[in-house]
Amino acid sequence: GPSGVGKSSTLNAIKPEAEAQTGAISDKIKRGKHTTRHSELMHIGGRTYIMDTPGFSSLYVDSIEAEDLKEYFPDIAAYTGECRFNMCNHVSEPDCLVKQAVADGEISRIRYEDYVMIYNDLKEKRKW
C-alpha cells in the first residue's frame, strides 16, 4: 500500500511479536513516515502469511479501461446497475448512488477519492 498508511502498525496489531518498526506521525501530512526499508514475510498461523513491505508514493495502472475500474473496487461495484444511469461510472453523473453512499459515510471518502483519481488518470491515458 501507499507510504505511511499504517501497514507495519496493522501488522503489529495482528502479530505483536513481529515488532515491525514504526515511526512517528508527520505533523505536515498526518501520516506515518517512510520507516519500512525491506519486505518481510511472516507466518501468522496455519496457512496464513502476511508481508510487510515498504510503501509506494504512486501507482501506475494501464492494463484496464476506465469504465472497468469500478469492478476492481468491490464496495463501488456493489452499486453497478443501481444508479439512474445504467452505465454510471460514479464520477460526474447525476443521481449516483455511490456518491450518495460516500456522502452518507457508507463508502470511505478517501477510498472514493482514490477511485476518482485513478479513473481520471485512465481516461486521460486514453487521449494519448
Strand segments (E) across the chain? 40-45, 48-52
Q: What is the distance between the alpha carbons of residues 115 and 120, in angstroms, rounded to a whole number? A: 9
What is the predicted pLDDT for the residue at 31?
46
Residue ranges in the chain whose pLDDT is less than 70: 1-5, 18-38, 40, 52-61, 126-128
- Cell 484496464 belongs to 64
pLDDT digits (tens, 9 = 90+) for 91-124: 999 999 999 999 999 999 999 999 999 999 898 8
Give, in words, the CATH class of 66-126: mainly alpha
User: Residue ranges of the domains in the chain?
Assistant: 7-52, 66-126
**Is the CB of residue 110 less than 8 Å from the CB of residue 116?**
no
This model's pTM is above 0.75: no
C-alpha distances (whole Å) from 106 to each of 9, 64, 98, 99 are 25, 26, 9, 10
Residues paired with 32 in a beta bridge: 25
| Predicted local confidence at residue 88, as pLDDT | 95
